[in-house]
Amino acid sequence: MSEFIYLDNGATSYPKPQEVYTYMDSFYRRLGVNPGRSGYDICMEAGEVVEDTRQALTEFFNGTDPNRLCFSYNSTDALNLIIFGMLKKGDHAISTTIEHNSVLRPLYHLWKYNGVEVDHIPFNSQGFVDPDDFKAKFKSNTKLVIVNHASNVIGTIQPVGEIGKLCQENGIPIAVDASQSLGKIPMDMDALNLDVIAFTGHKSLLGPTGIGGLYVREGLEIRHTRAGGTGVRSAVQTHLDEYPFRLEYGTPNTLGIAGLKAGLEWIKAKGLDALFRHEMELTTMLRDGLQKIQGVTLYCQDDLTDHISVLLFNVDGMEALNTGTLLDVDYNIACRTGLHCAPRVHDHLGTTQLHGAVRFGIGPFNTEAHIRTAIDAVSEIAEMQSKRG
Ligand SMILES: Cc1ncc(COP(=O)(O)O)c(C=O)c1O
């Protein structure tokens, strides 16, 4: 059997750096206690790992107060805390058609059951939203703008800085779904005029599954929509208002936080720019190769500026799922097919009726040889399909 080639890094990064596995193993054996809940040594030490990670992540996107970084299970969890905690009956929210279901569905829920109005800004033929379209939708009851930073389907990076500036000028909070971007491209909350960001640990940050978080700018408060243990001031009957407890509930995923810490350290040691350059060189090579194949359609990939290492395509006349199965079974290549939890992107591209499209997601451990094999595999599949007519 040929070498296994993992091109599904948009779903989750795999493998993780060796340092992540090693650190998680040693952390959990040595410090796998409930952090910050008691005063004994390893409890304090485990608590320090949690707080160090809070601090390191906050610095990573230029936040100002590590206490305003709250850990969650993943970005879906963080986005739910944001959307349900910032919107109420009679409010208006603006989002986009490029969003993942972790934004679309909570907004839909609020629209259907809680009387929240929602506008979705469409993206253009190249996969970008226009900041002015947001401005045109601002109303006196607009209480949240929530935008995907980098698309998990077509890879485009949205102009969140410009949207953030317009929001700031109009006193409207903006939250950004940084699930794909944080850990891949530099992010400076302040320079981008962002109020809230949501992230997940297992994708570009190279940590494990089950850990994510959100950061809330000073001066903005998100209502708590849950309540429970925080490990401090247990006699208080209500959930605590101060951050990070305000948006953290129950025992944290310390093992996940430890893995996230190691992932972040690995990224910093290798250099975010160098890693991104490597991934985009491979993405360009893959795009160029796929573009030359007759019978392959690429979506929103003409210009790879403002783009992450995600490519979407279909073999003409073939359902995405079948292409994915052939890549898996005949070539040992892992990709992701279907709607990628972002159905409105496929509605817009006209790929819903093909049951979606095929996504290749390139990660730090992919090589030129992987890309050559993937191009050859798609070429053979397209040729076979054209012979079948
Ligand atoms: C853009 C985007 N947002 C949100 C999510 C949800 O991430 P998680 O499943 O880690 O909650 C994903 C994951 O696919 C994503 O790509």
How many angstroms does the Cα of residue 366 sit away from the middle of ligand 1? 21
| Residue 75 Cβ < 6 Å to ligand 1 | yes
Do residues 188 and 211 make contact, with C-beta atoms less than 8 angstroms apart? no
Query: Is 233 or 312 the better-scoring residue by pLDDT?
Result: 312
Nearest CA to ligand 1 atom 16: 152
pLDDT at residue number 354? 85
> Residue 231: what pLDDT?
85
Check whether 112 has a pLDDT greater than 90. Answer: yes
pLDDT digits 0-9 by tens, 156-193: 999 999 999 999 999 999 999 999 999 999 999 999 99
- Give me ligand 1 centre to Cα 100, in Å: 7
What's the pLDDT at 44? 95
Note the pLDDT of residue 37: 77
What would the pLDDT profile of 249-275 be if each residue is shown by its tens digit? 999 999 999 999 999 999 999 999 999
pLDDT given for residue 121 in this prediction: 98
User: What spacing in Å lies between the alpha carbon of 200 and ligand 1's midpoint?
Assistant: 7
Mean pLDDT of 228-236: 89
Is 90 exceeded by the pLDDT of residue 115?
yes
Taking 80 as the threshold, does the pLDDT of residue 1 lie above it? Answer: no
- Find the 146 Cα to ligand 1 centroid distance in Å: 14
Q: Which domains does the chain have, with CATH numbers?
A: 5-15+271-388 (3.90.1150.10), 18-269 (3.40.640.10)
Q: How far apart are CA 219 and CA 62, in angstroms?
A: 16
Mean pLDDT computed over 87-106: 98
| 388 pLDDT above the threshold of 90 | no
pLDDT at residue 36 is higher than 90:
no
Which of 9, 14, 82, 102, when mutated, tests ligand 1's pocket best, judged by the most ligand atoms within 8 Å of its CB? 102
Asked if the model's pLDDT at residue 217 lies above 80, the reply is yes
- pLDDT averaged over the chain? 96
Distance 263 CA to ligand 1 centre (A): 18
- pLDDT at position 378, please? 98
Express each pLDDT in 282-323 by its tens digit. Answer: 999 999 999 999 999 999 889 999 999 999 999 999 999 999
Are 181 and 187 in contact by the 8 Å Cβ rule? The answer is yes
Tell me which residue has its CA closest to atom 7 in ligand 1. Answer: 75
Q: What is the value of pTM for the model shown? A: 0.97
Which is higher by pLDDT, 150 or 229? 150
pLDDT at position 2, please?
Answer: 87
Return d(Cα 365, Cα 275) in angstroms, integer.
10
